[in-house]
Amino acid sequence: MTVDDFYKFLGLHEYEIRDLYIEWLESGFERALAPTVDRIDPNGHYEIGNIQIISSRDNSKKVWADNHGVAYGRGYKNCARCKKLRPLTDFNKNKYRNGGLEPYCRTHMNEIKREIRKNNKEKKV
């Protein structure tokens, strides 16, 4: 089985784990950043539609949340820019958006705002 087949088997797309993998690689294979297979619904099975790849650190957080009765699955969201799974607290609120939150994590929201500001300035000049 090739890596691509494996992703297909898992029902995942390469881009979903590429960033995680690159981050892991750049960290010198730090254990906390190792990609792990996780069940989205912990009561469900390891099957297509109920698995995702998250870092070992996020996986630990999720286990912690499960043990403390916090709904982790609903407490996380993928940033539309970096595609990373981040806690909802990393997203600014926006009542006009789906789910009441901005699609980008705070870091990337700021980055995007900066880009827009820069573009507007260049237009005015």
CB of 76 to Zn ion, least distance (A): 13
In terms of CB distance, is 8 or 106 closer to Zn ion?
106
Q: Does 34 bind Zn ion (CB under 5 A)?
A: no
Q: Does 105 bind Zn ion (CB under 5 A)?
A: yes
Residues 55-84 that bind Zn ion (CB under 5 A): 79, 81-82
Select the residue whose beta carbon is closest to Zn ion and give its number: 79
The 3-state secondary structure of the chain reads CCHHHHHHHHCCCHHHHHHHHHHHHHCCCCHHHCEEEEECCCCCCCCCCCEEEEEHHHHHHHHHHHHCCCCCHHHEEECCCCCCEEEHHHCCECCCCHHHECCCCHHHHHHHHHHHHHHHHHHHC
- Residues binding Zn ion: number (CB under 5 A): 5
Q: What are the residues binding Zn ion (CB under 5 A)? A: 79, 81-82, 105, 108
